A and B are shown apart, each in its own frame.
Chain A
Amino acid sequence: MSAKPRATGPGTQTGNVIRDSAMGLIPETVDEIIALNGHVWRDSLVPPSLLEIIRLRNARTVNCVFCKSVRYDVARRDGLSEDRAEMVADGYEDSALAPREKAALALADAYLNFPAGMAPDGAARLSCTFQPAEIASMLVALMTFNFTSRMAVSIGGMPEEPLPITEVSLAISTS
């Protein structure tokens, strides 16, 4: 991973971490990316704690140091304690997470794997656990989380060591 950022932000200090990042260099897309992030969280068909679980699974897989350190306030308020957040590690199937949470993580892994996709038994488990609209909602969230975390890694300049766990307001990336 490059220690030096390959692109810098537009020099703004709006308080929105997306607009002030290198993504702010692309006026054609930055507003929609911010809007997308807001829709993913505010209009999701699954609860914020479930979204946070798959966001953290993605963060671990992509190894985005920033993403791994963040905990969104909306997920905390929805009941996702740090103990439960840590259960997204490998071996989550044997954890105390609820069946819906484990099924959501299995979807995240199916999305993130090489090759992406799921075996018939995994697909059947997911279909038995979630409505089609909930699955669609989680897939849009996964695309968004994966897109932004891989953006951060690709741009570079990320610390190698883990950062402290920090609770942040959703507003830093949606308004």
Chain B
Amino acid sequence: MTDAPTSISLDAHLAIAGPAAESFARLWRTLWRQDHLPAELLELCRLTMARLHGDAGEQAAANIELGGHAPSPGRRDAVLSGTALDDPAFSPADKAVLLFAEYYWMDPQSITDEAADAVKAHFGEAGLVMLIEALGCIDGRIRAARCLRDLTAAAPAKETAHVG
């Protein structure tokens, strides 16, 4: 495997872990096919997390789970530049979800009741729970991918050291 891991390509890199990795991969695919939150909005959450992690590889990764629900280039760029919350092209529902994602990324303990209530006002309690699940998966996969990237980057140096 030669591509650098991202949240999108992670499953191939973790498959050697066996049934648990397969289960996590199924959960990941389900996120993009549920009825509580639009897949396009979840993708904007993934891009928000990619921006907050400062992860260029993650920002560039094409999400193969989206099918025909990819965000427009304008919405994608606004999220990646951090201007979406002030952009009239984003609805109040979009902004509620993206603001919640920023709180979640910073620290779940920082999430305000107002931010959670705003998500519930648009998507209900189940929508809020679905959002928290999705953010947990997205953030976790970005973190795991970053660890794997660092392990891969360190591997050639180790081999060289052994040869030398």
Q: How far is the CB of B133 from chain A (nearest CB, A)?
A: 6
Contact with B along A34-55 (1 / 0, CB 8 A): 0110011001110000000000
- Are A39 and B23 neighbours in the complex by a CB distance under 8 Å? yes
Chain A residues bordering chain B, tally (CB within 8 A):
59
Q: A172 vs B47: C-alpha distance in the bound complex, in angstroms?
A: 35
A151 and B133 within 8 A (CB)? yes
Residue of B nearest to A148 (CB): B136
Q: In the complex, what residue of chain B is closest to A22 when comparing beta carbons?
A: B129
B154 at the interface (CB under 8 A from A): yes
Q: How far is the CA of A153 from the CA of B21 in the complex (A)?
A: 24
Pairwise interchain contact B16-A136, C-beta atoms closer than 8 A: yes
Q: Which residue of A lies closest to B27 (CB)?
A: A32
B contacts with A, residue count (CB < 8 A): 57
- What total of A-B pairs shows CB separation below 8 Å? 177
**Does B109 lie within 8 Å of A115, measured CB to CB?**
no
The answer to whether A123 and B108 touch across the interface, beta carbons within 8 angstroms, is no
Contact pattern, A 49-68, Cβ under 8 Å of B = 1, otherwise 0? 00000000000001100000
Could you tell me the distance in whole angstroms from the C-beta of B114 to the nearest C-beta in chain A?
11
Beta-carbon nearest neighbor of A141 in chain B: B20
Given A2-B116, A133-B17, A136-B13, do A143 and B144 touch, yes or no (CB 8 Å)?
Answer: yes
Question: In chain B, residues 84-122, which have Cβ atoms closer than 8 Å to a Cβ of chain A?
Answer: 104, 108-109, 111, 113, 116-117, 120
Query: A37 CB to closest chain B CB, in angstroms?
Result: 9
Q: For residue A10, give the distance in angstroms from its CB to the closest CB of chain B.
A: 10
Q: B17 near A139 (CB under 8 angstroms)?
A: yes
Q: Across the two chains, which residue of chain B brings its CB closest to A44? A: B20
- Among the 9-residue stretches A72-80, A88-96, A124-132, the one with 4 or more Cβ atoms under 8 Å from chain B is A124-132
Beyond A29-B27, A36-B20, 11 additional pairs, beta carbon < 8 A = A26-B126, A110-B150, A120-B153, A124-B154, A136-B14, A137-B20, A139-B148, A143-B137, A151-B132, A155-B129, A155-B132
Residues of A within 8 A of B (CB): 1-2, 4, 6-8, 22-23, 25-26, 28-29, 32-33, 35-36, 39-40, 43-45, 62-63, 107, 110-112, 115-120, 122-124, 126-128, 132-133, 135-137, 139-144, 146-148, 150-151, 153-156
